[in-house]
Chains A and B, each alone.
Chain A
Amino acid sequence: MTDGESRPDGWDLPPDATAMVDDYFERLRAAGLAGSLTAGAGVDRRRGDDGENVVADLRAHVRDRLHGTAGTPEDVTRVLSELGPPEALAAELASTVSEGTDDGQLAGGGSTRSSGSVLGIPYDLRAPTSARFASRWWNPLDRRILVPKAWGVGWVVNLGALAVLTGVVRPDDEDVPFATVPPKTVAATLMIPVVGLAVFAVFAAISWAYLPAIVPTHWGISGRVDGHGTRGSTLLYISLLAAAPVALATWVHARRQPPLNRVAASALSLAMVVQSIAVLAQTLFAVAGGTGVWPLWTGLACGLVLAFVLLVRVSHIGRTAEQRRDLSTGSTKGCV
């Protein structure tokens, strides 16, 4: 028997009635644990606390309903039947409690939180997917310019929101981003980062002769060099920085992922290739005696701008395809 079964007015349930109530709430608790209603073994603490509070309130409710009765087994059965089977009640409670605690985009699964936020800084340590990357980089329906990273800590720029903000795209230009874009166009977007990678390769080959054995590899906030490495390892690192995203984008295209995923992968890899070219340019700039990191920042900006232009252009192609489909009948408002 729990402490809650004794009341200040001195009224107590008969032992057999108490046993029936305890049994009911034990079943409710067991069903709730299975459905993540209560805290249990490491399930989301906030949701668990809410669930425990609701269970405590329900227990008090049952006692109130039984107060003034003889507390016979028939009375207990009647009151508990009003709540329904404990398993069904647990499912209903889990649904109700989770409505107030879930963050639709950040909810993690399992017994530990693999995504969420700490001190207002979002994190997501779930296995990355091309769909999540794409929806964070291009989502015109989400007005937030900065959205949580698809993988890692911090934020990324939602280029879709930026396109809406600048007026080059309307939120509902496309029913589903890039879904009506001709497949050949979607596939062709991959050629842009591939060409960029070729440009990088040529640039790297030419740069080799101009780089000393030891080259700058890191710059402080003030723009001063604070790290060095060998020419070979540095060029290898920068080459991987350029090639790996393009390889991943190629994999996304080869896997026949949805058009949004494929175009976003092309745009993201294009941005990375441009940034890699900028890193190489920054290295050459420092070797030549230049100070500051403006080549790096310029490359970063150029990469984002080119990705933005690519995504907007493909979005316009998708919008045009939708319009061509719908307007082929020549209908106008009022004469449909």
Chain B
Amino acid sequence: MAAGGEAIPSQFRKGVVELAILALLHSDEAYGAEIVDRLGRYPGLAISAGTAYPLLSRLKKAGLITSVWRESPVGPPRKYYRLSAEGEGAFGGMAKAWTDMKDAMDSLLGREATHD
């Protein structure tokens, strides 16, 4: 159990959500509210706008994503985010690392479950 009774430590979740955002933007560009809505479809990854925008800003400062204003078919222009070339490379490495960690954790958690 994480400190303070959190089910998942905030730093761990933050890292996972960052990877989730990169995964979303790997498939297609998206604007801020759209990213929040799409992550909201996954209960474990749901974040508020107040969390999403600082993360997007951080990823942009890190050079992993870029943004561009585009006209919207409905309403005012929207700022769309997408992976940069550097972000594409980083996403590949992070996705591989995630898969390795997931396999290891699945194995570890499965083994511990047999001991319970």
Q: Which residues does A use to contact B, with CB under 8 Å?
A: 99-100, 140-143, 170-173, 175, 322-323, 325-327, 330-333, 336
7 pairs, A vs B, C-beta closer than 8 Å: A140-B53, A142-B54, A175-B60, A323-B69, A330-B71, A331-B70, A332-B73
Q: Please report the number of residue pairs spanning A and B whose Cβ atoms sit closer than 8 angstroms.
A: 51
Residue contact B32 to A331, C-beta cutoff 8 Å: no
Q: Known contacts being A332-B71, A332-B73, is A172 close to B56, with CB within 8 Å? A: yes
Q: Which residues of B lie under 8 Å from residue A173 when comparing CB positions?
A: 79
Residue of B nearest to A336 (CB): B70
1/0 per residue, CB under 8 A from A, across B57-74: the answer is 100100000011111110
Is B26 at the interface (CB under 8 A from chain A)?
no
- Ordered nearest first, which 8 A-B pairs have the shortest CB separation? A143-B50, A171-B53, A326-B69, A332-B71, A323-B69, A141-B54, A326-B68, A333-B70
Interface size class on chain B is: 20 to 34
- Say whether B11 faces chain A, with CB atoms less than 8 Å apart: yes
Residues in A with CB closer than 8 Å to B68 are 326, 331
The answer to whether B70 and A327 have CB atoms under 8 Å apart is yes
Contacts A99-B11, A326-B68, A326-B69 hold; do A141 and B57 have CB atoms under 8 A apart? yes
Residues of B within 8 A of A333 (CB): 29, 70-73, 78, 80
Give the CA-CA distance A326 to B32 in the complex, in Å: 17
The residues of A that contact B11 with a CB separation of less than 8 Å are 99
Q: Which residues on B sit within 8 Å (CB–CB) of A140?
A: 53
Q: Which residue of B lies closest to A326 (CB)?
A: B69
- How distant is the Cα of A99 from the Cα of B50 in the complex, in angstroms? 22
B32-70 Cβ-contact flags toward A at 8 Å (1 or 0): 100000000000000001100110110010000001111
Considering only CB atoms, which chain A residue lies closest to B3 in the complex? A100
User: Quick check: is B77 within 8 A (CB to CB) of the other chain?
Assistant: yes
Rounded to whole angstroms, the CA-CA distance of A171 and B79 in the bound complex is 11
| Given A326-B69, A327-B71; 15 other pairs, CB 8 A cutoff | A100-B3, A171-B50, A171-B53, A172-B53, A172-B67, A175-B60, A322-B69, A323-B77, A331-B68, A331-B70, A332-B71, A333-B71, A333-B78, A333-B80, A336-B70
Measured between alpha carbons, how far is A99 from B10 in the docked complex, in Å? 12
Residues of B near A336 (CB, < 8 A) are 70
Q: Which residues of B contact A141 (CB under 8 A)?
A: 53-54, 57
B50 surroundings in chain A (CB, below 8 A):
143, 171
Provide the bound-state CA to CA distance between A175 and B58, in Å: 11
B36 CB to nearest A CB, Å: 11
Q: Which of A142, A172, A331 contacts B71 (CB 8 A)?
A: A331
Q: Which residue of B lies closest to A327 (CB)?
A: B69
In the complex, the chain B residue whose C-beta lies closest to that of A334 is: B73
B57 near A172 (CB under 8 angstroms)?
yes
Complex-state Cα separation, A326 to B68, whole angstroms: 6
CB distance from B47 to the nearest CB of A (A): 12
B77 cross-chain contacts in A, Cβ below 8 A: 323, 327
A325 to B53, CA, bound (A): 21
In Å, the complex CA distance between A332 and B74 comes to 11
Which residue in B32, B67, B69, B73 is a CB contact (below 8 Å) of A171?
B32
Instruction: Please tell me if the beta carbons of A332 and B70 are within 8 angstroms of each other in the complex.
Output: yes
Please give me the residue from chain A that is nearest to B79 by CB atom: A172
In the complex, which residue of chain A has the Cβ closest to the Cβ of B76? A323
**Binary interface encoding of chain B residues 79-101 relative to chain A, with 1 for a CB under 8 A from any of its CBs, else 0:** 11000000000000000000000
Contacts of A142 in B (CB 8 A): 54
- A52 vs B110: C-alpha distance in the bound complex, in angstroms? 34
Q: How far is the CA of A326 from the CA of B77 in the complex (A)?
A: 10
- A332 CA to B76 CA, complexed, in Å: 11
Distance between A33 CB and nearest chain B CB, rounded to angstroms: 26
Whole-angstrom CA separation of A175 from B67 in the bound complex: 8
Question: What is the minimal beta-carbon distance from A96 to any residue of chain B, in angstroms?
Answer: 12
In whole angstroms, how far apart are the Cα atoms of A140 and B11 in the complex? 22
Q: For residue B49, which residue of chain A has the nearest CB?
A: A171
The CA of A127 and the CA of B63, in the complex, are separated in Å by 31
CA distance A175 to B56 in the complex (A): 10
Q: How far is the CA of A323 from the CA of B76 in the complex (A)?
A: 10
